[in-house]
Structures are given as structure tokens and as C-alpha cells.
Structure 1
Amino acid sequence: MATEIAEGVWRIECRGVNAYLVFDDVPTLVDAGTPWDEAAIRDGLDEADVAVSEVGRVLLTHYDLDHVGTLAALAPDLDAPVRAYGFDAQLLRGSRSPPIRNHKGLIQRLGGLVTDRADLDVVGVRDGERIGSFTAYHTPGHTPGHVAYVSGELGVGLLGDLTSASDGDLEPSGWLISYDTDAVATSVRDLAARAPSFEVACVGHGDPLATGGGEALRRLAATV
């Protein structure tokens, strides 16, 4: 199911996780659900009147089974670059493997057993890079290559799993699903300080905030 949560911003509900479609300079798919969400992604795009072939780019906040899972299934129809950062881009390309000495890395190793590698053009992201109207901010902790994307023009923050949302507030990524929770806290504070103001907070888990997203991030930054 897809819902327009703000003008030009669609939430696509997958299995316990959110993907998004944002109408920027090109239709932009943000994250891509689990390996079992192909129908949800395709149907969600269709509800927003966008064909898979019309997606102009994919912005990945990070590499995890529930954020890259449908890319391989979409690949035959998807003619768009996939943007990812550093270590997470290497995982997506298959040029590195998650470390088994980190508990989250071990979870990713197990997730990789059911995640097909997509035959797509994976393009690296740089911290501070402008992509459409969005600026990329490296926000490590949940994963080493986690990235948030914020558009001051659109008033939208794509926060991935840096935070989740509950009852209108944001919460930091917890220990079980993070490489490093100290780095998560640092990234929350850094993003709150660096990013322009925004209203819509698009999170991987929980209901996105249609208003007050930037203020919710600043409140969280003051407590971590």
C-alpha cells in the first residue's frame, strides 16, 4: 500500500519496513524493502502512477536485507543508478562481506543468504554531495555506510534507520540492530547540527512524521 504523506512524498509499506517514492527532479525510490516485497514496491509505484522504468534514481540509506531486498527483482525493469555510501556500497556490489565479529555484521551475513545481488549500476555517494535537491550526510552507526538525505527545498529528511519513529517522536537505532550505538548518537547530533530544517521525516521503521520532523530530530539530539 502506498500513501502520499506530503506533496510528492509517498510511503510504500513493506513487510515491517518503509520504502519511499519522492518526486524530486526525477522520481526517486528511497530504499527497497525485503526480498519478499516486490509486489508491494511495484504496486506502490503504480498507485503513485510511476512505472519501475520511470524511476530516475534509487537512494539507499544503507545496506540491510529490509532495505535492498527487492533490487534484484526490480533490476530487469529498473534503468537507474543506485546510490550508496562506502562500505555499504561495497556490500551491495558484493566486493566485501559483513564482518562476523560484529553482532550486526553477523546478522547481515545471515540476511545475505536470502538476498540476491542486483545487477545494477551502484554509484558511490560522498558526504555533503548534492543529489537532485537532496544533500547526503554520512551518518554511521546503524551500519558503517549509513547515509541520511535531506532536501531543504522539499522540506524532507530521509533518515533510514538512523532513527525510528514512535508516537510522533524519533528514537535512535538500538544496540541489537546497530554496529555502534555511540556512533549512532554522534550521527544524530551531527545531522541535527548540519542539515537544513525540514518538516517530513521519512524513517525506515514506524510511521513517518508529516510535520515537525526536523524539530523531532533536534529534540532527540539533545538527549543522546
Structure 2
Amino acid sequence: MKIKENVLLLDSTRGANCFIVFDEEITLIDTGLPFMGNSIIKELKTLGIQLTDIKHILLTHHDVDHISNIKLLKEHTGAKVWAHMEDIPFIIGKKDRPGFKKFIGKTISKRIIKDVEPYGNNMQVGNIKIIHTPGHTPGHVCMLFEDVLFAGDLVKNKKGNIIPYPNLWNWDSEKMMKSVSEIENLKYNWICMSHGIPCAKQ
């Protein structure tokens, strides 16, 4: 699905959306649900994207449905993988996810990677601005590229309504709502969440 000329939603990733951004260097945002990796690779090739042209993989947060194919996709692309420093310990297997997410995380224990770069103080990769939006996870981030906001699991699209992600899944619901309020002040025209169809800003 084309969001705009330089931003695509990968159709093979519906359910846990992944996006391609044609920035100075091609960037993949998130890596999808378990066992989705080969479908992602197939779609990228169908789109005419050379896998080795993908230079960056940006992760919105550590949840399983966002990082499951990270090892496979890094092996095929050679891309540098980025995440917020507070979520990296969960991604590389040094920390267990809290609550019932701990058991979900075990499903990808053999498919994790160890070399993940922190976004750093400038919080920008290429022209993609990284915005720390804790609440869903400690290191959850949103990303702003031109007039497109990638919201991760901060919000979801439910039947055309943009709503905060349900409290059941959140690390800290109070911080989550503060982060939701903060992104409302950002300037963008499109919002691309991980669950639900991207839409114009409401």
C-alpha cells in the first residue's frame, strides 16, 4: 500500500504493519509477526527492492510482533538495526519482558540478535526523527518522516478511530497517555500505526 511516493506499507505484514521508507538510504520500520520473514523478503523483491539496498532497520519497540524476523532480515540485508536503549535489553535477550509478555517472548528466543544500535542523543536516522514515547514499553518510539508519523503501538486504528493502545498491553499506562498527548502537538498529515490501516491525521 502506497502512503506516498517514498513511504510504503508492506501488504504482507498486515496484522503487525511494517513500512519501507525511501530516505537517503532505504529504511525498514519493524519486522513483523513470527514466521513472516520470508513473505516480507518475497514482497520486497516483487517491489524491485534489492535486499542489500536496505541500510537501516528501525524498531519502534521490543514486542514480539515487531521484532520476530529481525535475525533473518538482518542476515539478508546486512542493515544496521536500531532501537531505543531502554528496549535493547529485551530485544537482545538480556531481560525478560514483564508479565505475560515474558512467555510470548520465548517464542522467538532462537531468533534474536545481539548487535542493536541505540538511537543516541540526536534521535535521528537519516531524515527520520526518533521520538521517545514511553508507556507501551519503556523504550517505545514514534518516528516522523516528512509529514508521516509512524506511531508503533502508541495508538491503533479501530474502525476509523485513532485510539490509545489498550491498557492490558502497556508497561505504564500513565506514561502512555502522556506520550499520546505529546504526539498530538506534532505536525504531520499521515499517521501509520502498527495495527490498523494508515490514515490522515484526525
User: Fold-level match, TM-score > 0.5?
Assistant: yes
CA distance in 2, matches of 1:128, 1:54: 24
Report the equivalent of 1:12: 10
Is the 1:21–1:45 contact (alpha carbons within 8 Å) kept by the matching residues of 2? no
Indicate how the Cα distance of structure 1 residues 206 and 38 shifts in structure 2: closer, same or farther if over 3 A, else same: same
Name the % identity. Answer: 29
Report the equivalent of 1:130: 124
**1:49 counterpart SS class:** coil
Deviation at 1:200, TM superposition (A): 1.9
**Root-mean-square deviation over aligned CA pairs:** 1.7
Range moving further from structure 2, 139-148 or 122-131: 122-131
1:159 aligns with 2:151: yes
Is the 1:136–1:149 contact (alpha carbons within 8 Å) kept by the matching residues of 2? yes
1:64 aligns with 2:63: yes
Pick from 164, 172, 175 the counterpart of residue 183 of structure 1.
175
Q: State TM-score, norm by structure 1.
A: 0.82
Q: State TM-score, norm by structure 2.
A: 0.91
**1:46 counterpart SS class:** helix
Indicate how the Cα distance of structure 1 residues 48 and 200 shifts in structure 2: closer, same or farther if over 3 A, else same: farther
Report the equivalent of 1:198: 188
Query: Gaps spanning 5+ residues in structure 1: where?
Result: 99-104, 217-224
Q: Which letter maps to 2:59? A: L
**1:86 counterpart SS class:** coil
Report the equivalent of 2:102: 109
Range moving further from structure 2, 141-150 or 89-98: 89-98
Deviation at 1:120, TM superposition (A): 5.7
1:208 aligns with 2:201: no
Deviation at 1:139, TM superposition (A): 0.4
Deviation at 1:91, TM superposition (A): 1.1
CA distance in 1, matches of 2:113, 2:175: 31
